[in-house]
Structure 1
């Protein structure tokens, strides 16, 4: 996945940023974001003065993020690491895992990630993640063909990029494919694809894993407006503490 395409698409969706910024203000610094990608959330926190560390296993994503840091102070520290086995030799007031990433990890990877999170939290520090609501995904038909979603302008070429998606669902896995079609003036179309597979685990399984590593579950929300989590909620947002 090209970082510039990823960034242009994901920065179209900013509805969750007030939630993460409010959480950052509440928890205090320093802050660690796991799976920070090109910095949609991380840079938003750094721009308002938070001391941030961004961790991702994709060097190309972090290289693109570094270009966007510019003169932001305090300057975020960027680390190429696996979120399931990292050791930064420091602790944080807040660790976040936004953008539906946690449910793309297997159950063993989730536990490994949470164990690392626990070790990197200060006593009283907070951890938060957001994922799609598996109950909603399980209620969908087993598959859907390619459907147009939206469009944006390519940040480098200025060409329109059309975004479409398709999915295939089993009882345990939701496989989502994104299609990015860059439309050239001469009629050529360059297609880029991105794949994501979400494990469809019950909500209780996530709560149990948090408690298993020693974290205390503080809140569960069904959306970024902090509405109550119910079966029909679009997502599951959990906040836990050490």
Structure 2
């Protein structure tokens, strides 16, 4: 796995479904509407353990998945088998995408695109997506701009219970390189069993952010057209004070 992605193995993949379990999420209907508007096979880049992919397959949508974490893909396959599903999954990085078919929709949920921190590789990822789209197909990429400040104190972000009954406490600190447009986040996972701290593990993730017109230019230079920018998952128009953006563009 490229270091650009951080480490989505070990305790990160093991605990992912503690935070993201269930059949419906804040962005579920958003991508369904997009796939309904442009019918055809879709590709989810950064499918992880199947948060979106498996419910879509269960509803009859034709969606394939790509991820660069072997462990997350293995969990996804295990969950799919339990549901009687047979997903098409690929173990690849988005900037090295090389699949045997083209798609009508390619979407990269959450902050997955921002995990490609090298600018040249990010441009290459867009080129690979463009090459894997059918004519008239669409790409959908959410991005956000983090606060221009570092968090020096550990802040608890999530708590949950693992299948063995252990409580997992996820805390984080972060630093921001403003002019480089890179946020580095250090996560601490504390495993508590029987009220005793049994284990502590750490994971580092780097994210590169982009500004509105900067990313529009990247899409245009790649060849994308009809670029739309939404300010949320209900398709509302983006306002000047928003730091969350969803880019949608056509081939």
- After superposition, the Cα gap between the structure-2 partners of 1:143 and 1:187, relative to the gap in structure 1 and judged at 3 Å, is closer
Q: Report the counterpart of residue 167 of structure 1 in structure 2.
A: 174
Which range moved further: 32-41 or 185-194? 185-194
CA positional deviation for 1:219: 1.4
CA contact (8 A) 1:178 1:194 kept: yes
Which range moved further: 83-92 or 20-29? 20-29
Structure 2 matches for 1:1-242, cutoff 5 A?
Answer: 1=9, 2=11, 3-11=13-21, 14-70=25-81, 75-105=86-116, 106-132=118-144, 134=145, 137=146, 139-154=147-162, 156-171=163-178, 172=180, 173-185=182-194, 187-242=196-251
Count of aligned positions: 237
CA positional deviation for 1:78: 0.6
Residues 10-65 of structure 1, C-alpha deviation per residue, up to 9 Å, x if partnerless? Answer: 33892122212222222222111112111112112212111121111211110010
TM-score (normalised: structure 1): 0.90
- After superposition, the Cα gap between the structure-2 partners of 1:218 and 1:87, relative to the gap in structure 1 and judged at 3 Å, is same
For structure 1, list consecutive stretches of 5 or more residues without a partner in the other structure: none
CA positional deviation for 1:214: 0.8
Superposed structure 1 runs of 4+ greater than 3 Å apart: 10-13, 71-74
CA contact (8 A) 2:48 2:72 kept: yes
Give the Cα separation in 2 of the matches to 1:177 and 1:236.
Answer: 24
Give the Cα separation in 1 of the matches to 2:49 and 2:236.
Answer: 28
CA positional deviation for 1:71: 6.1
Give the Cα separation in 2 of the matches to 1:72 and 1:184.
Answer: 30
CA contact (8 A) 1:117 1:127 kept: yes
TM-score (normalised: structure 2): 0.87
CA contact (8 A) 1:24 1:45 kept: no
RMSD (Å) for aligned C-alpha atoms: 2.0
- After superposition, the Cα gap between the structure-2 partners of 1:9 and 1:194, relative to the gap in structure 1 and judged at 3 Å, is farther
- After superposition, the Cα gap between the structure-2 partners of 1:144 and 1:10, relative to the gap in structure 1 and judged at 3 Å, is farther
Give the Cα separation in 1 of the matches to 2:139 and 2:209.
Answer: 21
2:185 counterpart SS class: strand
1:76 counterpart SS class: coil
CA positional deviation for 1:143: 3.4
Give the Cα separation in 2 of the matches to 1:241 and 1:74.
Answer: 30
